[in-house]
Structure 1
Amino acid sequence: MTTLENDFLRVTIRPQGAELTSLLHKPTGIEHIWQADPAVWGWHAPTLFPIVGGSLNSELLIDGKNYPIERHGFARKLPFDLLDSTPTTAVWGLTSGKQTEPHFPYGFTFQISYALIDEQLTVTYRVFNQDTKTIYFSVGAHPAFSVPFNADESYDDYYIDFNQPEQLETHMLSKDGFFTGKTQPVPLDGYKLHLNEHLFDQDALVFKHLNSRRVSIRSKKHDHAVDVDFADFPYLGIWAKPGAPFVCIEPWLGYADSEGDQKSIEQKEAIQQVAVGGTFEASFTITLS
């Protein structure tokens, strides 16, 4: 484990997936990251790379050849190297090789960096193209935030607060995790999406057309909040395992396939790319207030 700390926050990151495992707010003593009870959901905040969601047939079609790939990709399960660190920053890297080439036949380095400033944690993703051709990929965050924050509260005391007016419409997923082409309205109370144990009975809420680039997890009983700013990410997933005491706020650059025929990776919806010798970069920030 690597620990970052300042006067307000203490953060831990594990080498597997360079995954955030703790985000402690020191003034209140509140642990904001779900502690990965394996009987419920055994992750804290996995990074989704080189795909987000599921790929049809659990394969990527690249240059006319199919490569096996599991849901959300392989980065979350592989060990990253700690490339650089200070008391308040850390940079982790995963470089292509024998573990990645059977699934994703590109030469690359994928970096995840963490930086603390006051009550903010900024997470930055970088993809370095070390191949002789354009790299196509998706990347996304999947942090699970513990809800409720305090033992004397309930899940129903909490809501997601959007920072812009929204007419929310979620894109429906099949039982296999692929988009069906159907949508469903998600009612708001003003700017508020109230949490309850049945909100995710039909899987994640997936928003492809949001006005907001910041959402907050708030309680009806106090002012302490978790803000997630995701200006670099046009898509957002919100999910929890029904009945579990957490909610995931998931900024995405990419998403699952739709039901139907398989498409080559460069034709996938919302796919990202980085040219030969180029670098892709995107960041989001978690603020505890």
Structure 2
Amino acid sequence: MGKIYQIENSVLKIAVSETGAELQSIIDKSTGQEYMWSGDPAVWGKHSPVLFPIVGTLRDNTYRYEGKDYHLNRHGFAREMNFSPVGQLRDELVFSLKSNGETLKLYPFDFELKLKYLLEGKTLKVTYDVGNSGNKKMWFSIGGHPAFKLPLFRGDAYAEYYLEFEEKETAGKWPIEEGGLLAQTPVPFLNNSNVLRLNKGLFAKDAVVLKELKSRKLAVRSEKNGKGFDFSWEGFPYLGIWAAPGADFVCIEPWCGIADTVGFDQDVTKKEGIEMLEPGQHFERSWIVTIIS
């Protein structure tokens, strides 16, 4: 783990590592309550990795661009690289990762990826700013993977928590097949419902993958005391919900991009959910978590 940076306001305190510019901690200062997963390496050693320049798994960990094959592991390389701190105020942190000789071997595009963390009252806003610093079109995906501690409060049980979407949803779940690829068709999941009760069996076959939800916000709550947090996302067409087997956390994952489908031909320019930036352009997306205590 790299150097840890902290910011705070009157309500919240957060910690971010320079490795992956990864959020480590969100603490409610009035109660001392931690909202982020501990990152226990025996279970899952991450807290909130950024997924770039791909989301999910490539078929054979390979994509093709201009007739050449490139290889990337699941979720890409940004989560393992050291970012540079480029701005710090009492309530704001900004980190930057620029393309270099190491990244160009895996991903033939010049880029700058900035992660911005901003505290506003009980809210943390996390922004991804992707810039094309090269002279050709750039193809990429980006996504969040924050893991929130559950149960949050002493005496609560995991199964007492639920997700409540802002809209009633009818949406299939896209199964993840062997090798981390998506099935070609969904299975029924949400049927005119806005509530998803959590249980550890929900993730027995990997993440719950949802596409094109109407909701842009959900609440995570304890049925015992009504406490928890709100999570909102704009401009992300996919949402993953996941926990490691038996783990005491839930990941809420907004994605601009998605794993390859079984049988995909590996041409990155035709990949589902892929984003494209012209030279000099920027792409920005944010997710927001608000503590409800």
Q: TM-score, normalised by structure 1?
A: 0.97
Question: What is the aligned partner in structure 1 of residue 258 from structure 2?
Answer: 255
Work out the CA distance in 2 between the residues paired with 1:147 and 1:48. 22
Q: Is the CA contact 1:199–1:242 (under 8 Å) kept in the aligned structure 2?
A: no
Q: Is the CA contact 2:147–2:249 (under 8 Å) kept in the aligned structure 1?
A: yes
What letter corresponds to residue 36 of structure 2 in structure 1?
A: I
Work out the CA distance in 2 between the residues paired with 1:160 and 1:28. 23
Q: CA deviation at 1:60?
A: 2.0
Q: Is the CA contact 2:12–2:27 (under 8 Å) kept in the aligned structure 1?
A: yes
Higher mean C-alpha displacement, 8-17 vs 164-173 = 164-173
Question: What is the aligned partner in structure 2 of residue 22 from structure 1?
Answer: 25
1:1-289 alignment, distance < 5 Å: 1-187=4-190, 190-289=193-292
Work out the CA distance in 1 between the residues paired with 2:125 and 2:264. 38
Q: Is the CA contact 1:232–1:284 (under 8 Å) kept in the aligned structure 2?
A: no
The DSSP-based 3-state class of the residue aligned with 2:183 is strand
Work out the CA distance in 1 between the residues paired with 2:98 and 2:234. 27
Cα distance change of structure 1 residues 286 and 243 upon mapping to structure 2, 3 Å threshold: same
Work out the CA distance in 2 between the residues paired with 1:243 and 1:32. 18
Alignment RMSD: 1.2
Work out the CA distance in 1 between the residues paired with 2:260 and 2:129. 23
Percent identical across equivalent pairs?
39
- The 4+ residue runs of structure 1 with deviation greater than 6 A are none
Q: Is the CA contact 2:152–2:228 (under 8 Å) kept in the aligned structure 1?
A: no
Q: TM-score, normalised by structure 2?
A: 0.96
Q: CA deviation at 1:5?
A: 0.2
Task: Give the total of aligned pairs.
Answer: 289
Q: CA deviation at 1:180?
A: 1.6
Work out the CA distance in 1 between the residues paired with 2:190 and 2:169. 10
